[in-house]
Each structure stands twice: as C-alpha cells, then as structure tokens.
C-alpha cells in the first residue's frame, strides 16, 4: 500500500513541476482574473471542487486495501491476482499523468478536469458492478486513467485561480491537506461501508459526489472553475 501511495504522490509532484509540459507550470504567467486581489472570481468554489477531486483519487487508493479480502471471498482470485486491484489503479495513474498534464495545456484545464471526473466516475460504477475479477481489474485501470487526467488539471486550475504566490501556496496546502485526510481516512470509511453494505459500496461512494458535481455544471454554476 505504502509503495502505491508514494508512487501516486510522486507522479502528481512530477506533473506539477515538469515545466512547460506540465499542467501547472504552463499557466505561471496567466493574467489575474477579476475578483479579490490575489485570486480570481469563484476561487473558493474552485478550491472546493479541485480538493474534492483529488480527495476521491487518494481515497480510492487506501479504501480498496481493506476490501481485498471481501472481494476475494465474493468473486475469487489468488493473492497475487487480488493485488492487481490496487496495482492496476496506481500503475495506470503513474503511466498517464504526465500525458494528461500536457493535454490540459492544449485543451484547457477546466475541460480536462471535468472529463477526468466523468471518466473516473464511470469507471467507479463499472468497478461496483464488476461480475468478475478480470473486469474489476480492468475497470480499476480505467479509474486510474481518469485520476491521471483529473489531478494535473486540478493543479492547473488552482494555479490559474490564485495568481498570487502566497495565496496559491495556502490553496495548495488546503488541497493537499484534504487529500491527506482522505487517504488516512480511507480504511475507516472503507471498513464502515463494507460492514454495512458490502465491498461494492466503496466504489459507488464516488457516484453521489460526481452527481452533485454534474448538477452544478449543467445548472450553469460550475463551482467557479476558472480556465478554459
């Protein structure tokens, strides 16, 4: 588990710092949008949306670890097979995060963020409905790709929304604190969901979050997300 978490965080760090190829660095000279000095309009809601996005990404690293035994009892698989439920997610995340950062530069961070959230949620539903271990592992890989698309775009949005370095540093600190809380709380949340509803509930928990996000977007109030 710890190796997978470290790999996820390292990949996210590289996506934020690789320079013009990364999602954050390319927006370092973005003009300040109207709003409170040092931040653009809708900045608090953008911070909430991006922090929530990264929180579900990290939650799905730790929450699955406590479900492996229940999954094995339900749909079978050897110990090495069950390990791929975790590894498929983190490998896909690490493999695609830099490419996704470049995509956010070309297409627009806001669009990529919303597309990543949609892909991540669709894969979460597939994970929850998976009839076999092979389908579950494949869905976890797709979920990791969605996470890889979502994370660098969220960092780019924060960079655009908070042009002032001090305010940006505080925003990123909150962003990371929320994800750390999600990561550490994953086993507790996962254990409670499994005990009450079964292992499939740990994947369906992402659906209400995404539904709220989609409602905000289609209602014309996209949580203040800045950028294209």
According to the model, what pLDDT value does residue 83 have? 92
Domain boundaries, the chain: 64-223
pTM across the whole model: 0.76
Per-residue pLDDT of the chain (228 residues; tens, 9 = 90+): 544 544 555 445 434 443 333 333 333 334 444 445 555 556 888 888 888 888 889 988 888 989 999 999 999 889 889 999 999 999 999 999 988 888 888 888 888 888 998 899 999 999 999 999 999 999 999 999 999 999 999 888 888 889 899 999 999 999 999 989 988 898 999 999 999 999 999 999 888 877 766 555 544 444 445 455
Superfamily of domain covering 64-223: MFS general substrate transporter like domains (1.20.1250.20)
Torsion angles phi and psi, residue 190, rounded to 5: -60, -45
Q: At what angle do helices 43-62 and 2-17 cross, to 10 degrees?
A: 150
Assess contact for 139 and 126: CB atoms under 8 A.
Answer: yes
Cα 131 from Cα 19, distance rounded (Å): 42
According to the model, what pLDDT value does residue 29 have? 36
A 10 A CB-CB count for 106 gives 8
| Furthest C-alpha separation in the chain | 56
Assess contact for 46 and 98: CB atoms under 8 A.
Answer: no
For 159-179, the DSSP string reads: HHH--SHHHHHHHHHHHHHHH
């Amino acid at each position: 588990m710890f190796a997978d978490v470290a790999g996820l965080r390292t990949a996210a760090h590289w996506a934020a710092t690789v320079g013009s190829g990364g999602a954050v660095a390319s927006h370092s000279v973005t003009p300040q949008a109207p709003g409170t000095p040092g931040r653009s309009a809708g900045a608090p809601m953008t911070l909430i949306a991006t922090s929530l996005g990264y929180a579900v990404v990290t939650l799905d690293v730790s929450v699955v670890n406590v479900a492996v035994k229940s999954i094995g009892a339900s749909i079978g698989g050897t110990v090495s097979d069950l390990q791929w439920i975790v590894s498929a997610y983190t490998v896909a995340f690490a493999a695609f995060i830099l490419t996704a950062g470049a995509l956010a530069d070309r297409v627009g961070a806001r669009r990529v963020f919303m597309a990543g959230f949609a892909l991540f949620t669709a894969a979460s539903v597939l994970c929850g409905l998976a009839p076999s271990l092979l389908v579950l592992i494949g869905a976890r890989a797709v979920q990791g790709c969605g996470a890889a698309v979502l994370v660098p775009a969220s960092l780019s949005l924060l960079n655009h929304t908070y042009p002032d370095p001090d305010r940006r540093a505080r925003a990123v600190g909150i962003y990371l604190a929320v994800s750390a809380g999600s990561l550490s709380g994953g086993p507790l949340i996962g254990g409670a969901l499994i005990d009450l509803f079964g292992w499939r509930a740990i994947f369906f928990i992402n659906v209400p979050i995404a539904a709220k996000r989609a409602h905000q977007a289609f209602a014309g109030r996209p949580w203040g997300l800045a950028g294209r």
